[in-house]
Amino acid sequence: MANFKFKRKEPLTDTGLLMTITICIFVVMYLLAMLLLQGGFLHAQQIFDMLNDNASLIIVSCGLTIVMIGGGIDISVGAVTSLTVMSCVLYLNNGGNLFVSVLLALGIGLAFGLVQGFLISYLEIQPFIVTLAGMFFARGMTTILSVNPQKADHAAFAALRDIKIEIPWLGYVAKNGNVVPARIELGVVVALLCVALVFVLLRFISLGRGFYAIGGNWQSALMLGINVKRTRFMSYVICGLLSGISGYVFMMHTGAGNATNAAGMEMNAIASSIIGGTLLTGGVGNVIGTLFGTLTLTTIKKIVVSSGLNDPWWQSITTGGMLCFFILLQSVVLGRRAKKKQS
């Protein structure tokens, strides 16, 4: 008789466990909203609207996840996004080329990533101080460009912005009897592509594994032959580049630039990453969890609004409570796992 050997099932890593918890909480929360609140939660378009409205936030959160896994922080991402939006809008309104506007967005994000990454990695200045200065600088530059809202009035950009991907079989029947197909904006495709690329980077490429190593223990990573300074530098470069992409996607969604664009986006991105299972101490995180962290954060806000609490402070209170819950949950789960390993 043939001998069958069954492989022992490996336990989930801390990253995988926290990501699984986030996904389960999102699914349960959304199902409860469907059962109790019904309304738009019964239509697939609700999920697509959440993605359409938060495509730029998802991209920024991907960049912050990389930085946080490496044990750093970047609070300038929202301001860089805002500066990118205003710069591209003004460039297009002054007869600019659509393709060059994309390069402009990438260039702005890359410039911030290079400068901040160099100051943090090679000059060893505290990340919070450097990115705080970057945030003030980007906000100031945005105001210098224009204090008034600017609408993107460019034919080629308008055509690009109006592109919608329709999925008829996921649509719904309106009150007038017409079938309304589900629609996804082009920015969502860009956001999901960024998630996929960052996932591949973190999972299969040595640079991505280096982020986990320096976030877990940079001294051990140094002993393993990892170039800690270069790896940390690359995390900020990638984060800056994703902030530039986020700015262009934000502009594609709103079609306008404003000095207050993306205000508070950095805080929402940090919250999304933490809810998705990324630890502020570094070494643990997953970009798929970040995606579901963003969706979880958006879902709870929509539940609050659907419950009749339309005042903005209720959303802030709920977000704060959700963030505290997930931080406490992470501490309890990882603490129990650490005790089991010791025993």
pLDDT of residue 141: 94
Contact partners, residue 173, CB within 8 Å, separation at least 6: 179, 180
pLDDT of 337 > 80? The answer is no
Q: Is 84 exposed, middle or buried (0-12, 13-18, 19+ CB in 10 A)?
A: buried
Distance CA 148, CA 170 (A): 39
- pLDDT tens digits along 155-186: 899 999 988 888 877 776 666 666 667 889 99
- pLDDT tens digits along 217-267: 888 888 889 999 999 999 999 999 999 999 999 999 998 888 777 778 999
DSSP alpha helices (H): ranges in the chain? 14-36, 44-69, 77-93, 98-121, 127-145, 155-161, 186-204, 206-223, 228-254, 265-275, 287-306, 312-342
pLDDT of residue 6: 46
pLDDT of residue 152: 87
- pLDDT tens digits along 79-112: 999 999 999 999 999 988 999 999 999 999 999 9
Report how far apart the first and last C-alpha atoms of the chain are (Å, whole number).
39
138 or 337: which leads in pLDDT: 138
pLDDT of residue 334: 72
What whole-number percentage of the chain has pLDDT above 90?
52
- The confidence band for 74, taking pLDDT boundaries of 50, 70 and 90, is very high
The HSE-up count of residue 257 (CA atoms within 13 Å, CB side) is 28
Model's pTM, two decimal places? 0.91
SS3 label, residue 257: strand
Instruction: Work out the widest C-alpha separation in the chain, in whole angstroms.
Output: 80
Place of tokens 């959304």: 30
Task: Report the run of H or E that residue 164 belongs to, with start and end.
Answer: strand 164-173
